[in-house]
Structure 1
Amino acid sequence: MRHPVQLRRRTWASIGLVIGVGLPLPAVAQSSEAPPARAVPADFADFQQEISPLVLAARPAEAKHWRQIEPALHQLALAHADRLAMLPADARVATLARLADYIDARRAGSAQIPVLAADRNVIGLLDPARGLDPQEVTAIAAAYGARSAVFKQDPATGESIADVADAFLAAVRAAAPAPNGTTIVVLGHGLPTEIQSYSIRFERLADTLLTAAGVAPAGATEPASGETAGAPVDLGGLVLVCDDCFSADFLVNLLDRLEAECRRRGRPLVSLPVCVAGTNHGRYGRADVGAKFVPHFWKDVIELFYVRQPHPEAVSLAGFFDAVDGMMYGYGRAPIFAGGRITGWRLVEPDLVQDPVVFVPLTEADVAELRRILGLPADAPVARWLDVG
C-alpha cells in the first residue's frame, strides 16, 4: 500500500473544474464614504471592490492577513445585511471594521484547538472509486499518537456503499463522546447537502452526532439511551474536516441542523463542533488525478504535517490558519511585490482557486458580543458558529 510520503514524488494530471475567480487585493481608498447603492454586495468580487477599501481605510491590515479574513467578513456581513443597511454610511463602515476585529479575536481564541494529537480519535471516510488509500489517513494519525479507523468501500468484499456508510456513522456515534476528542476526515465527492460518495445527507450526520451526545434523532418517538430532558449538549470535542466539492456549504447545513435540533428539543447548546472545509462557499473542489484521486487540501495537509520533518507534537487550528492556508492560496495565484512586501495577489489560473475555510463554535458570551457590535436586541437570533476564514 502506498505511503503518504510518496505524494510529492508523483507527477499528477490536473482535472479542470471552474470554481470561481479571486481578485487582487484592492488598494486602500482614502475616502470613508460608503457606496449608496447597497450595504452589502452579494457577490464577493463586488464586496472586494466596493466595501473592502473602505474597511481597510478604517482598519488597516497586512495584505496576507486581510485576504484570510476578507471572505469571512463578507459572509458575516451578508448574514446581517438587513441590520447593516439600516446604519448610516460611516457607522456601517465602522461596524464592519469592528466585525473584522471580532473575527480576528475568534481566530486567536480557537487557534490552539487540536486537530491531530495524542490519544485523539481520527475517523476517515474515503471515496470508493479512486480515493486515497487508508494509509493516507492512518499514517498521519499515528504520527501524532492518535487512534484511527478508516472506511472505504472495497468491492472485492461484497460490501455496498450503504454498508460502508452505516459502518462509518456507527464509528462516529461510538467515538464522538471520547474525552480526548475526535477528528472526522471526509475525502471524496460532495454536494451542499450530502457526502456524495456515500449518499450521507447532512441531516443524517447531524442525527448521528446528536445521538452520540445523548439526543434522540429527529422523528424519534422515544428518548435516546441515557437522554435527560433539558440536559446541555456539548459537541466541542469534535473536529470535522471535509475536502470535497461544496464542503463549506455542506458544513453550514450541518451546523445549522445541529443548532436547530437542539433548539427544537429544548436542549441548551454548550458548543457546536469545529469544522474545516477544504473548499470555500459555493466552490468545487480541486484534485490531482493519477492512479488515485488526491484532493489538493488533504495533499497539502500531508505535505506540511507528515512529509516535512520534524513535525510538531500536535496539529492545531493555528496550522490550518497559517501553513495550510498559505500553501492553498498558491493555487491559481501569484503574489504581487512592492517594496519587498506582498501587496496583493494576481490571478493566474482561476480553475485552481479553492481557498479553505474554518468554522468555529461561538459561546453565549461570543454571541452577546456580536449582538452588541451590530446593535441587535438581546434575544435576536444569531448563529452559534462563525466562519473565521
Structure 2
Amino acid sequence: MGSLIGRSLRGVVAIACVLVATTVPATAHAAVVVPAGVTAGIAVFDRQAGTFTEQQNADMQFRSASIVKLLIALDYLWDRGPDYVVPSADRTRLDAMLRSSDDDAASYYWVQRGYEAVVNRMVPRLGLRNTAPPPSSQRGYWGYTAISAADVVRIYRFLLESAPLPVRQFVMGDLRQSTRCAADSYDQYFGIPSVFGGPRAVKQGWSGFGNGPMTCSGTLSARASGVDLVQEALHTTGTVGPDDRSIVVVLTLHPDGTPFAKAYNALTGIVRSLNVPGGTRLPGVPFGTWGSGVRVRSGTTTASPQLAVVPSGTDVLVSCQALGQEVVVSPYRNPWWAYLPQFGGYMTNIYVNSPDNKLPGVPDC
C-alpha cells in the first residue's frame, strides 16, 4: 500500500507490544467451556480497556482455512494507495470473498499475487508472530496457511487502529455484511453470529467437512494440511459491540469425522461462554433440533414466506413461542411455533428436541 500504510506500521509495533503485555491470569479461563476432544485457540481483546478478557492457546497455530482471506484482501489493498481505487471487477470478487467466503475469488488473488508471497509480505507488515505460508509442496492451497488466535487479533487491530480509513471501510464494511449462506452453500452463522446481535463484523473459516451442506445446496470437500492434516477445522472471528469494542477469535479443531452440525454447536457453545465486553447477546433458551431442510418462516403457518433453513442437527435459540397452524409430521402433531432470533422467524416446535408440544421455560410471544 502507499505511504499511509507504511506510516501505519509504526503503530503495528506498538500493537504487538500490547498483545504481549496485556494478558490475563490463567484463572480467568475457568468459565470457558471447551467440549472434550475439541482443541481451541481463543483470544478476546477489549479495545476500550486495552486488555484481553480471554486467552487460551492464543499462540497455537491452526490451519487458517478462510481466515487467510483477510490477509489476501489486505495484500491487494496495500498496493492501491494513496487513492485506493478498486476496479469494479476486483470489488465484486473481493466483496464475494469477504462477505460470502468465495473460494474462487481467493484462489484468483492467491495465484495472481504470488501464492505464499502474500503471507510472506503480510507477516512483517502486520507484525504477525505465528503465521506462516503453506508448505512449498502445497503452495496452491491458501487454506493451509498457519495462523494463531493472537495473530488474528493483530490483524483486526491493524484494520481498526492503523489501516488507512478507505482500507478499514472496505474490509470491515464487507465483514459487517457477512451472508448466512456462504458461496459453497455452508451456513456460516456459527459462533459469533449465533451468540451476538449487532453491531458485529465476522470472518469465518471451515475445512475438512465432507458430509454435505447445512443450509443451501452444494458440498465442501477441501481438506487442509500444513499444521494439522486430519481434524476438521471450524473458526469464528470478528468484532462485537459498538465501535468494534471487542475482537473475538476462536479457532477450533474437531476429531476426524466430526459432522459439521456437531462442530457448529461446539464452537457456538464456546463463544457463548466467553466474556465479551460490549456484546449484545441474542435472547433465548438453547434447544437441539432434528430433521433436515427445516424451514424458518416469517409467520406461524406453512404458507408464510420462507426466510431460511435450519442447518440439520444444529442448536437454536428460542426466545418465545406462539400458537399457529397445526403441523403434522407423522406421528407428531403440534400447533406451537418457536421464534428463533438467530434467523428472525418461526419454526414449528415439532423439530425442536423437547418431550412436549410446548417448550419448557420459554414464554409466549
Q: Comparing both structures, which one devotes a greater share of its residues to strand? A: 2
Q: Which has the higher contact order (CA 8 A, sep 6+)?
A: 1
| TM-score, normalised with respect to structure 2 | 0.29
Q: Comparing both structures, which one devotes a greater share of its residues to helix? A: 1
